[in-house]
Amino acid sequence: MPQMLEISQLGNPVLRQVAQPIHNVHESSVQALIDNLLMTLVTSNGVGIAAPQVGMPYRLLIVASRPNPRYPNAPLMEPTVMINPHLISHSGEVVKDWEGCLSVPGIRGLVPRYRQIEIEYVTRNGELVQRELCDFVARIFQHEYDHLNGMVFLDRLESVREIVTDHEYLNHLVPTTVVA
């Protein structure tokens, strides 16, 4: 039975570590970690999660854009598990939008990200996949990918004035942040 895992919060050293590659995706401990991450993601209303956020410093993340109370305007997609992901190329265009983080509860920040990216990763079945992501989904990937390199979204802010509380975000800012 998959378990909900405890989320590591800002201040926990695991969030500042560079995560290690996974050598054998078929190992039962890796497959169990994936199931537990999926369960944790759904339970916490996230649209993405990275293994270091549950205290596991491995290069594994999940992108799972969907409309939910924390991101009411998100597009719907199947949760996609990405192991040992790489950013292959990116657009010159950078866009700023609001992000939150399960590991940084209570606040949002306006974060610049590449609008379009080309990525490569290994699936939970061991297949190597290349694909292009854009807009909100590309943003989620870049946010989670940062977690694998010991970074959080606060590190990317252009000004601390671009931090707001969840309360203000959900009551006043959501209608202006539609991403298609």
Residues involved in catalysis: 144
CA distance 58 to 26: 15
Of 35-43, 73-81, 87-95, 97-105: span binding Zn ion (CB under 5 A): 97-105
Pairing of strands 94-101, 80-90: unpaired
Considering the complex, what minimum distance in angstroms separates the CB of residue 106 from Zn ion? 13
Stretch that binds Zn ion, among 13-21, 27-35, 81-89, 101-109 (CB under 5 A): 101-109
* Residue of 44, 47, 58, 61 lying closest to 9 (CA atoms): 44
117 is a site residue for Zn ion (CB under 5 A): no
CB-wise, 8 or 84, nearer to Zn ion? 8
> Concatenated DSSP letters for 42-110?
HHTT-SEEEGGGGT--BSEEEE-----SS-TTPPP---EEEEEEEEEEE-S-EEEEEEEETTEEEEEEE
Instruction: State the minimum distance, in angstroms, from the CB of residue 62 to Zn ion.
Output: 11
Q: Report the nearest approach of Zn ion to the CB of residue 28 (Å).
A: 27
From 2-10, 94-102, 128-136, 165-173, span contacting Zn ion (CB under 5 A): 94-102
Q: Rg for the chain (alpha carbons), in Å? A: 15
Q: How far is residue 48's CA from residue 58's CA, in Å, rounded to a whole number? A: 15
Q: Check if the beta carbon of residue 68 is closer than 8 Å to that of residue 45.
A: yes
Query: Residues 51-90 vs Zn ion: string with x where CB under 5 A?
Result: ----------------------------------------
- Applying CB under 5 A, does 101 fall inside the site for Zn ion? yes
Residue nearest to Zn ion (CB): 101
Binding site for Zn ion (CB under 5 A): 101
